[in-house]
A and B are shown apart, each in its own frame.
Chain A
Amino acid sequence: MSHADSTTVLRTHGLRKEYGSDEGLVRAVDGVDLDVARGETLAVMGPSGCGKSTLLHLLGGLDQPLGGELWLDGHRLDQMGEKELARLRRTAVGFVFQAFHLMDELTAQENVELPALLAGRSPRAASRRASELLGQFGLADRASHLPSALSGGQRQRVAIARALANEPLVVFADEPTGNLDSAATLEVLRLFDDLHAAGQTFVIVTHDERIAATADRLMTMRDGAFVDETRLTGGTTGHLGALIGLED
């Protein structure tokens, strides 16, 4: 099984994760095969409890699989120890969470600097990168605000900036719009769209059909396994007018 295909950034084969035992055994991830190409946005949908969050944690090295292979940019993750996984999280992977998980006592700027500091970069370099990202996202005037002074959409955008601080290969997002209202969701979607256009690879787990609709590929998961894969190519039947009640 060659992993040398240069456009494949993430690949798994037979990935497994289980919890509990005997009666209480839960196959959270049950033999998942997956390929993600560079620059692709992959959306994973499914009912709650289907294991999509668990899958995301496995792919991003936050959790160890029970079985199967997992390759990220040619590195084999399922055989790595916690320390190596941590290093990987600094350099190749960025995470965005539903609850944002920003540090409440740090400003937006300081939050975005954190991954760079953890990676050992100088405070000045970290600060520069943070300012650059926040400026790119239109948050330059909010850089010295605490998270409590930011709206939900702004907080999640700061979190996304943080995920990008060390220029990761893949950004993993777990229900990124779960805690956001429509307007904020739109902000975040715009951001994802811009980043996607710039070539960033995304794997997004979501309930939100809006994200799913704009992804390159949509996988549906049920009971730990993929049951459907869709590429939404082509136009739509009917015309826009019918959507709002305008008849012919």
Chain B
Amino acid sequence: MQQEVVLAMLAKEPSQGYELRARLDQALGPFGEAMNAGHIYVQLGRLEKAGLIERRGAAKSSDGRDRKVYELTSAGQERVTEWLAEVSWPKPDLAEFHLKLTAAAAAGLADPIGIIDGQRRELLRRLRDVQRAAMAEPDHSDAGLLLEGVVLRLQADLRWLEACEANWTDRRGTS
């Protein structure tokens, strides 16, 4: 997860580390458990070093909890504004799979069709899990929206895999 995400979460109000974690957890719904808690503190450290946030507040409290409060600097504010206006999309990972198929076919290591089928089954399993999660969500929940995004991308990927299969079957036929 990019550090700009953590930065943006501080834009609302200065917060403590555990508050940030709770907020992220809630927003991610079922995916919250997949989030690595420690990762957040690493990000906070990096951001502090870059001068985008600063730490305030007391040292350890009586119950041992980290009572540091983080807040945005003006440079941090600027960075958040910039980041919100950016339109880059998460990087797709197609090249790797495509090269995998080509390499397998060239080296005779495995049947590309078999690889595609295997990948397809995996994506279908993921789709199944996400679908089940989606059905359990109440309508119009935020998490439901996130899940729909996953479903649609998995569908897109599966369609691409279908196209790959058709292509590699033809290649086999004509070779």
Contacts and interface: CB of A to CB of B under 8 A. Distances in A.
B131 interface: yes
A234 B121 CA distance: 10
A182 B148 contact: yes
Contacts, number: 77
B131 A214 contact: yes
A193 B135 CA distance: 9
Contacts of A198: none
Interface residues of B, number: 36
A247 interface: yes
Given A209-B158, A210-B155, A239-B34, A244 B128 contact: no
Interface string A120-161: 000000000000000000000000000000000000000000
Nearest to B153: A243
Interface size class of A (residues with CB under 8 A): 20 to 34
Interface string B140-175: 000000101111101100110010001000000000
Contacts of B117: 228
A213 interface: yes
Interface in A219-248: 228, 230, 232, 234-237, 239-248
B34 A213 contact: no
Interface of A: 47, 182-183, 186, 189-190, 193, 208-210, 212-214, 218, 228, 230, 232, 234-237, 239-248
Interface of B: 1, 28, 30-31, 33-36, 90, 117, 121-122, 124-132, 134-135, 139, 146, 148-152, 154-155, 158-159, 162, 166
Nearest 3 CB-CB pairings of A with B: A241-B34, A213-B127, A213-B128
